[in-house]
Structures are given as C-alpha cells and as structure tokens.
Structure 1
Amino acid sequence: MKTGSTYLQFLAAAALAGQVVSAETIAQINGNKYLSPYNGKNVTNVNGLVTAKGPSGIWIRSTAPDSDERSSESVYVFDRNFGKNLTVGDVIQLNGTVTEYRSSKAYVYLTEIINPKLVQKISSGSAATPRVIGKDTLSPPNKAFSALDNGDVFGVPNNVSLISVSNPTLVPRNYGMDFWESLSGELVTVKSAHALTKPNNYGDTWVVGDWKVTGLNSRGGLTTVDKDANPEAIIIGSPLDGSKNPAITRVGDTLGDITGIVSYSFGYYTILPLTALNVVKAIEPRLPPPTTLISSGDCSGLTVGSYNVENLWAGSAHLVNISDHIVNYLRSPNLIFVQEIQDNNGETNDAVVTANLTLTTLTSAISSIGGPEYEFVEIDPVDDKDGGAPGGNIRQAYLYNPDILQLRKPNFGASTEANEVLPGPELKYNPGRIDPQNPAWTASRKPLVAEFETLDGKNSFFTINVHFGSKGGSSSIEGDARPPVNGGVEDRQEQMELTANFVADILAEDKNANIIVAGDFNEFAFVEPLENFLAISNLRDMDEAANIPQLERYTYLFDMNSQELDHMYISQALKPKAQYEHVHINTWVTLAEQISDHDPSVAKLNVCKK
C-alpha cells in the first residue's frame, strides 16, 4: 500500500518516538471512531489470527473479540517481509506501531500496524472463516453515507466538515461509511453478488450482495435518487492472489459469492478479493431495444433526440457507431441536440476551430446507412475557451431533418455575440449563444439557442442546447470531505440561472411558447442548481411529463450509481401527450463495447400551434 524508502524511514522514526502501550485487543486499537486512539503509539503483545496475505502485508483478526459493533476485530499489518514465513491460519503475537495512512488528503485514513516484530507464533492450522455480510454482520445501511452529510450527500454548500477532523463515533446501523469502517481489515463474504457497473481499467467492479438495497432499477443497477446515492454498495478491487478480474462484466451480471478483505483505497471502501471475480450468469438481453418513439412526420408528433457523443471529430473511430445509434436505436429523430462535437482535427491544438468537416462526416455517415440527409446548426467557440480536451473545441450542435424542419428566419450570431429575446417573441440571432462573455462560462460551453419551424411556417418552437460545466474537482463520495465536493457546482448554479432567465424572457413574451431545453447538464435533477433552474424557468422535466419511473431515470454510470446527467425540459405548452425514452445503448454494454459514456434519449412532442 505504500512505497518508497523515504516514507518507510519516516514511519520508523515515528515509531521510535512513539509511546509504548499494551493494547489488549485489536478492537481497542481500532476504537469506535474513524481514527485509532492508539495512533502513533507502539503496542505490544497483540494477538491475532492471520486471515489473508497480500503483496505488502497481512491481515489479522482478534482472538478475543468484543461485542461492540462499532469496532473492527481485524487490522492490516503493513510490512512486505513480515508475512513471508507466516500462513493463513497462524495465530501470532506481535509488537508494532499503530498509524493512520492515506495516500491523499482527500481520502479517509486507514488504520494499520507498521514496523511489526513477531513475538511468537502461538499456533497454526486455525480456520480463517469469513464473516458473511448481513448474516454475521449488520446489513449495510442503504440511505446515508455519513452523519456529517446532514441528511443530504448532495447538499449545497458541500465540504463543510472533514471526517479526519471531526472523527465521529461510528454508527454502523445508520451510515454506510461507518458500516464499512467498522469492518476495516475484516475477512468477509458477499453472498450472491451482482455487478452495478462495468469494471474500470483495473478491473475494479461495484457490487451489492443479498442484502436489502434501495434504488434497484430493472437492469440491476442502483439509481441515484434525491438524497440517496446507495451507500450499501462496495467496490471489489484487485485480487490478493495476483489474478485479474474480468473486463467484460456488465450492469446486472451475476457474480456469485465473493470473499475478501475490507479495506480502503483510492477514496473508497473496497473489498480485496482472495481471487478474481467470476461472471456466473451474464444478464440478457445484451443490448437494449431501439426507441419505440417514431415521428408522425408532422407537427403533431415530432421526435427530438439528445446525445453526448463524447469528443467526436471527423477522424473519430466511433463516428460510424454514433451514426448507427442515431439511425437504428434513435430511429432518426427529426431534431437531435448533440453535445461534444469537436473541431475538424480533434485534439490537435492549433488554430482550427470550425467543425464543418466533423458534422459533414457525421451527417454523411448517417445518410449512408439509410438515415435522413440531416443539415446541421452550430456556432464555433473562441479557440480553447469552452473547456473539454485541449485543442478539441467541443461545442453543441443541432442535426435537423430538412424534409420536416427549417430554421425560422436564420441569422447566425458570432461566438461572442449575446443572443436576446425580442418582442414576438423572436431571437436576435438564430442561432445564437446566451451571454457568451459572462464569466460564468469560463472554460465551459455556452448554450446554443435556436428557433425551428415546420416547413409551412405555421408551427415553431425554441430550443436551447446545453452542456454545462463539468464536475471536475469533485471528491470521492466516500472521501474525507462531507458532504462530498461537487466540483463546479457554483459555476453550474450561475450557468443554469442565466439559461433559466433566457427561458423566462421567452415566456414573458408568450406564456404558451413551445420551448425545449436539453443536453448534458452535468447535474442531478434534485440538486440545487437544477432545482433553481426549474423554479426560474417554469419548465417541466420530461421524465415527469412522460411518467418515467424514478429508478429508470439514468443515462450515465459513475461509481456505484446509475445516474442522470442528461435531461430534457419543456414548456407547459408541450406537456400534453409528451413521450420520452432513455435508450441505454452505452450503459448496458461492456466497457469495450461502449461508444460514448452517455446514453441518448428521445422525446415525441406535439409542436402544433395551439
């Protein structure tokens, strides 16, 4: 867990300076809080059963457990050489120094014993029996992570307290982080585990076992809902025997029983399995069905899609797959809000800003496989001013079917020109950008506003294509800061307010205006920026309008959660008979099969003049 001779020399010096005490049990070393009461002290004659061995140390379990559910009966002994002549099942007595370790100040500390000295091997051949989660232990809490979150893990402001400073007493019956902390170092078994997400690049996979969960969606993932981000989940890390977890795991796959050590690494409570995971049963179907929403071809049933296509440029290998998704899974919507369109040469950081070749290549690929000959609408950003990958110049764009729709009174605004709502209502620029020189948009995409109409000119609607500031800089949901840092939340607060005010200006001119706001909001519907957006704009959430079940509202996978960062909001005039579907073409598949990190969505709306 630690490397570097300098660090080890530092720990050795600290041990020499530490106070020598005698801890009767491992539970006393761990204590009933996050930080050990013996931190920095030398302990002697600590008895424990070796339950597992790793490349840098061993884990031991107390031979004299207490009845306090708050204090773990196991601890990690960090030393690469200490366990070489020891075997799982040995009962040993050791001396050492208690320390709290973390690799980043953003993480929670892990209690360890360092500089161990073997006093004696008491016996060998004892059974190292894992404790079954939910049977031999409490069941993981399924609502709250920490008392320090004050009831809302997404609360604003966040980062108002630190576990490392507050060091709260553990309440493992109520709080997920407290629960896993109370089992730190323990050998456990997760019964009947299934995968919540696809593995990361290291094979680490989030799971739940046979305990009670909240947020279970129909695919087998856990959906983030208001104030609940599923603390009952646990990530399965690198196997202790050096084997590799499978890379083909998908959401909902059955993994069977998993036995390993509860630890904490890289910002999360983790189970280090004794050996690699095994997919016992792969979930079916492998792919989601295409949308059922088909355009009527007129104003009574226009289809509108939204898709973050993840850094798409003219030479992207995944461009052909994106076109396939649009034609065969979204069924060629009449209008598509697209996010993360890069300039013509992608991340080559030069003076190229235009995306004409990117969008022409995409629309040609769509038509070549039977889709419509889309036309596109976009405004070039100022070079390197809209965030995203350096040189990529990502922006939003519209693809529209010219057999169905056209821009109303086209009048393209420039990169830095602010759009306005004129009497009518009409747009000063069509398309145009919302207040692009406002500092709220620093290193972020400016909303792209347009007005479309049917070819007869009788039915029009306003659109705002958004890609708000990223969550970069967020802390781990199981990190030290409570509530966790929601990176960029202040920027998104301002960005959404500016956008909502623009919507309000349209509705002030015509309360029955047809308005669609869609894209990558980089925020959840129940967090303050979006709550304020709805309050100011008076729009309706399409999930609500179309009665999408709460647990089926997801377009993205992150940590243990299926979550929704991509949204569509409509004005009241569009609500009657509105239909909406999320097409899980990227969240359901394996990591290798994933084309974008977002799922697209499709709506069907009546835009006829009322």
Structure 2
Amino acid sequence: MKTTATLLRWLAASLLGATSVSGQSIAQINGDRFLSPLNGHSVTNVTGIVTAKGPDGIWLRSVKPSCNKRVSDGLYVYGSALAKNTSISVGDVLVVDGKVSEYRTNKDYLYMTELASPKVRSILERGRKVEPLVIGKGGLNPPTKQYSSLDNGDVFAVPNNQSLISAENPLLEPELYGLDFWESLMGELVTIERPRAVGRPNQYGDTWVVGSWNTTGDNDRTGLTVSAADGNPEAILIGSPLDGTKNPKDTKLGDKLDAITGVVYQAFGFYRILPLTNITITESPAPEAAPPTSLVSEGTCKGVTVGSYNIENFYAGDVAHVQAVAKHIIQYMRTPDLLAVQEIQDDNGETDDGTVSADETLTALITAIQSFSNTSIPYKYTYISPLNDESGGAPGGNIRVAYLYRADRLRLRNPNPGNATTANEVLPGPELKYNPGFVDPSNAAWTNSRKPLAAAWEFVGGSNNNISGSTSKTLFTVNVHWGSKGGSTSLHGDARPPVNGGVEDRLAQAETTASFVSSILAQDPSAAVVTLGDFNEFAFAPPVALFGTRSGLADLDEAAGIPPAERYTYLYDMSSQELDHVFVSPALAAARSTRFEHVHANTWLPYSARTSDHDPSVAKFDIC
C-alpha cells in the first residue's frame, strides 16, 4: 500500500493551492487517475457540450477532445434544478461553474468525479451534433482479464484487500486493466453495438452485457465463464434508462439486444452505462430450456448415477417449490440413484421456534417425486439435524445437507446414524463409525455453517451385493455446503484484490473435509469416494484447490473432460461460475466409464422461471 508519507503528500497536493480555479477543461478536472487532481476545488468557466440529461443532472463533453486515452472528456454535472431546466437541451454548449467533488454512497465503492453546485454562466451555442463513442471500434476495447494494477495479476488472489484504489489512486492504464478502461470513459456518451446479455437482470432491470468486442471465457450459451485470474472485466452493467422507461426484468443469459447508447456512470459498487432509453431484446437463444442429463442409471453397480443439487431454502410449506424441485429431479436429473441435496430447511421453514427436524420437508419432496413419476420410484432419505440456529442460512431455517437414495438400488452400509455433536470416524476396513455422520462437527471451522455429512453405500443385491457376477464396492460420499461468500466486495470495488467473504472459513473447512476423506484413501487407495455439493467457491480459488490437494481426490470436471467454459452452475453479476463441484477418488477418476454433466436447468432461465439459484449436476460411476 502507499506509505503514509506518500498519501499525505498526495492529499496535500489536492487540497493546497487556490480554492477557485478558472478556465479548467473537463479533461483537467478528470485527470489521468481515478481521483480528480482538483477534488474539493471550485472551478469556473468549464465549457462543454450537453450529451445527455438525467433526473438529477446532465453530462458534458469537452468541446476539444484531449486525445489522451487515460483521460475522459465526459463529466457528470450534479444538480436536479439544472436537469429539469427545459431551456437546456442536448447539443447545447454551456459554460458552467461548480465545485469538483468525489462521490460514493458506500466506503467499499469507488468514487465518481462530478461537478456539484453548478451554475450556468452562458450558453455559447445550440444544436451542436453529439456523436457517441463506439466501444469496440477505433481501438476502444475493454481488457478481457485484468481489473486493476493493484490486483497483482489475480483479481481472486488471497490474501485480498491489500490496497485501496482511493488511497493509491494509480495512473490509469485503460489498455491493460478493466477498471481503468471504464474510468477513462467516465461521463462519456457511448454506444454498444450488437450487445448480448451475460447475466440476469436484478430487481431494477440492471443487466450485464458485452458488445462487439473481444471476450474471453465464452460458453456455448454466449455467457462469460469465470476462470483463474479472469473475472471478465470486459462486461458492463446497463443501469436505469435516463428517459424514465424501465428495462425488462425477464432478460435471459445469451439474449441479443438492440444497440445501446448511454453515459458511463459509477453507482452502487459498479461501473455502468445509463442508457438513453430502455433495453430491447431482439432475439433469445434456442432451445429456451436446457436438455436433461443424458446420464441414466443402468440399475446395476456398473452404472450408478449420483447427483448434487442446492435446492435453495427448501421446506415443505412452499408447495410450489416442492413440486418444481421434484419435477427437476425427474425431468432434468432423471431420478439418480443417489442425490446429495443442500439447503434443506427444518419442517416449519424460517419460523424460529426450536424445530430442527426435516422429516416433513424431505417426505414432502419424496411424495412429490412419486406423484409426478410414471413409475413408482422408492426414494428414501437420510440426514442429521443440526443444533438449533447454528448452521447459518436464513434465520430459523436450520438448513442442512441430506441424501435421497433409491432404495431399490442403494442402501446405507451398516446403518448407524450419528447426531449433531458426534464426529464421524474412519474405522479399519475402511468403514464409517457413524453412517451417516457429520465430519468433525465441533470444529470451529463450522461455526454458523453446515457440517458435511459422510455416508457409506452399497448396491442392493444378494448377500455379497453380487449383480450378474459383479461385486459392488462400498461407495463413500461426503455431502458439503461450505460457508457463504457473504461480506465479499464488488469486483469493481475500492479494495484490491476484492474481499472474498468467508474465504478463511472455507480454507479451514477445506482442511477439515480433506483430512476426513484422505483417511479413507489411506486405508484403501482404490476406494470409491465422492465429495460433492455446494463448495461456495471457484475450483481455482485457494479453498477448493487446497481441498483437492489435501484430500487426494480429483476434480471430476477435469477427469471427465468438461470444457473449462462449460463449467458453470450459477450466475452472479457478469459471470457464469461454478460453486458446485464433484471430487472423486483416483479409482473413479481413472475409470473410462466415469461420466459427468452439469444440467443448466436454472441458469438459462429468467429470474421468475428458475427453481433454484444453482444448477444440478449428475455423474455416473461403475462401483463394481
């Protein structure tokens, strides 16, 4: 970080000198860094062309461009009276006075340079033609990987929050870094040609897009999949239209949009473009719905299907949600033999009255599956209740992980359930002391978080599980839902690298989970072991990478050859990303029969149509 002495010198330079500066250009006000060199100064005779008007201010562009790629020729002039002045129109050339200000609504956000308390001295000209800058043309291309020079090459690096843009105020390098690129266009009128949506709109209709410029991480749905050190800085958020219209809230991943023209702005933690009018969808990708998994159980130990699905705050009282999840399990996941589910709430959901049982919740799911099935599917369930109000999630919900299993194909091996405080152990064999049982539930790593549930399974058959001459192995599974990323800061935020909320907790959880799993392989290197669920972290981030190394398991995406851009189960901001993972033991990873698929049952749909915020995944193994 910048030394105290250096920071004090910079502050002194910005505060000393004349309090009123005459004849400053817009380029001089913006400067070639994130913060204005004239912050706090009153300026007079600032001349610019009106490029847009909003409800709370107007935007000006320099009459004579600076021709410096580091410096924006656009400026936001904040003042509702000026914005509502009907005698001022786009194309007018104004001379204004005001005070240079750096504004942000939250300490974690970046500042935006603006001219406050404006006073119009004169209107020099009317009807000047205003042409937007076209992003993607004339060398105006956003960088595709790095966000800031302060990230030291990796926006996802740990430790994070090592410096602040507001303190360092680095020189803008718009050809290298995404934040610098958008800052160098702050206040400018721009156009995006051939835009497409790379994320869902939020409740206000704000939508992440890219245009006709280079992108990285493109998946088959034309979204941008996040990868190591690449957080997709080339995407930009389209905010509220300046004419008072509303952006659509049903925009989907991959939707093509009409050209967008608007002004570059900074608000609520992100650079954004405020369009002159609302987004228009011109074409949606086909098919509208994702296909179901192609992986179907063979009904023998040679072809066992295992699924994982975070079903988002699931409880029996939400009948519509119960039915929607049941249909997904049947139609998209094709009723896997074993299903690890996460975010199972207790029987009365978010009523915080001490209830921890989830029998009614899971029975409702099994009943719904039966009601929608063409044939009788004998699912059973198993789980362990957490201690009241100690597993995080929605208050009162007592979320936990659980298993559904087809009793006609699988059963718990030597059932012996643990409880909320008993720690599972790997006994000689290997066998589990508790089946199922929590992994080290008293460990501080699980404070206010879900405990992993370990179980051992065998295929239903004769006394030795012999199916057509093949003997079933014990299948060991660990169902995880690691701590949330709550407390993270925006990729466009002040802290660099951005804060990855809860990462220290997940590192500790990775160690604990890996230690348990590795003890199985220590006894039997050829054991069939699967750890799966919502890891709440990227595969390349330190917690998941650490787990893979310490556990001895292989990332099934890698083992099954899933293309990197297709590894996503979640949409967040501008990125398709994978928080849900499956890791398998070497014996399963090396087997030619092992297969794996992510089923995009939710990420392809508009917000209103999704069943969960996560996609399910399905794997197929030979455990004979």
Q: Give CA deviations for 1:413-470 in whole Å, capped at 9, x if unaligned.
A: 0101111111111111000001111111110000000000011344211000000000
Q: Secondary structure at the match of 2:195?
A: strand
Name the structure 2 match of 1:417: 422
Amino acid corresponding to residue 48 of structure 1 in structure 2:
G
Residue in structure 1 matched with residue 135 of structure 2 by the alignment: 133
- Give the root-mean-square deviation of aligned CA atoms: 1.2
SS at match of 1:222: coil
1 CA distance for matches of 2:44 and 2:24?
9
Q: Are residues 1:329 and 2:345 paired? A: no
CA distance in 2, matches of 1:500, 1:22: 65
User: How far is the alpha carbon of 1:82 from its aligned partner?
Assistant: 1.6
**Aligned equivalents of 1:158 and 1:258: distance in 2?**
35
CA–CA distance in structure 1, aligned partners of residues 166 and 606 of structure 2: 37
The answer to whether the 8 A contact 2:473-2:528 is kept is no
The answer to whether 1:558 aligns with 2:572 is yes
Q: Which runs of 5+ in 1 are unaligned?
A: 1-14
Distance across 1 between alignment mates of 2:378 and 2:32: 65
Shift of 1:198: 1.5
Cross-structure match for 2:594: 578
1:363 and 2:366 are equivalent in the alignment:
yes
Pick from 503, 506, 524 the counterpart of residue 489 of structure 1: 503
Contact 1:18 1:97 (8 Å CA) reproduced: no
Aligned residue identity for 2:521: L
Please give the secondary structure, in 1, of the residue aligned with 2:95. Answer: strand
Among residues 287, 290, 293, which one is paired with 1:291 in the alignment? 293
Q: Distance in 1 between matches of 2:623 and 2:587?
A: 8
Q: Distance in 2 between matches of 1:284 and 1:588?
A: 10
Q: Alignment partner of 1:581: what SS?
A: strand
Q: Aligned to 1:378, which of 361, 376, 383? A: 383
Partner amino acid for 1:384?
A: D
Distance 2:579 2:31 in 1: 40
Aligned counterpart for 1:464 among listed residues 478, 502, 524: 478
User: 1:28-427, aligned counterparts within 5 Å?
Assistant: 28-83=28-83, 84=85, 85-136=87-138, 138-316=140-318, 317-370=320-373, 372-427=377-432
CA deviations over 1:71-106 (Å, ceiling 9, x no partner): 100100000002313111100001110010000010
Q: Does residue 1:499 correspond to 2:513, yes or no?
A: yes
1:22 aligns to what?
22
Give the aligned residue type for 2:363: T
Q: 1:256 Cα shift?
A: 2.2
Paired amino acid for 1:56: D
> Gaps (5+ residues) in structure 2?
1-14, 466-471
Query: Quick one: which of 539, 544, 547 aligns to 2:561?
Result: 547
CA distance in 2, matches of 1:169, 1:607: 58
> Structure 1 residues 467 and 23 mapped into 2: Cα distance closer, same or farther (>3 Å)?
farther
CA distance in 1 between partners of 2:605 and 2:483 (Å): 27
- In the alignment, is the contact (CA less than 8 A) between 2:134 and 2:140 conserved in 1? no
Shift of 1:137: 5.2
User: Which residue is equivalent to 1:603?
Assistant: 619
| Contact map agreement 2:24 2:43 (CA 8 A) in 1 | no
Q: Does structure 2 conserve the Cα–Cα contact (< 8 Å) formed by 1:203 and 1:246?
A: yes
CA distance in 1, matches of 2:191, 2:547: 45
Amino acid paired to 2:418: G
> Any idea what SS the aligned residue of 2:608 has?
coil
Q: Distance in 2 between matches of 1:64 and 1:28?
A: 12
Tell me if the contact between 1:18 and 1:40 (Cα under 8 Å) persists in the aligned partners.
no
C-alpha spacing 1:67/1:433, structure 2 compared with 1 (3 Å): same
Contact (CA 8 Å) 1:23, 1:29: kept in 2 or not?
no
Instruction: Indicate if the aligned counterparts of 1:516 and 1:568 stay in contact, CA closer than 8 A.
Output: yes
Letter in structure 2 aligned against 1:556: Y
Residue equivalent to 1:10: none
Name the SS of the counterpart of 2:191 in structure 1. strand
Q: Deviations over 1:125-179 (max 9, x none)?
A: 0112111002145200001000100001110000000000000000000000000
Q: Contact 1:203–1:237 at 8 Å: present in 2 too? A: yes
TM-aligned CA deviation for residue 67 of structure 1: 1.4
366-375 vs 564-573, which deviates more? Answer: 366-375
* Runs of 4+ that moved beyond 6 A: none
Q: Distance in 1 between matches of 2:41 and 2:68?
A: 22
Give 1:248 shift.
1.4
Q: How far apart, CA to CA, are the structure 2 residues paired with 1:134 and 1:20?
A: 38
AA matched with 1:589? L
**What secondary structure, in the 3-state scheme, does the structure 1 residue paired with 2:273 have?**
strand
Kept in 2, the 8 Å contact 1:219–1:252? The answer is: yes
Q: Is the 8 A contact 1:411 1:429 kept in 2?
A: yes
User: What is the identity, as a one-letter code, of the residue corresponding to 2:311?
Assistant: V
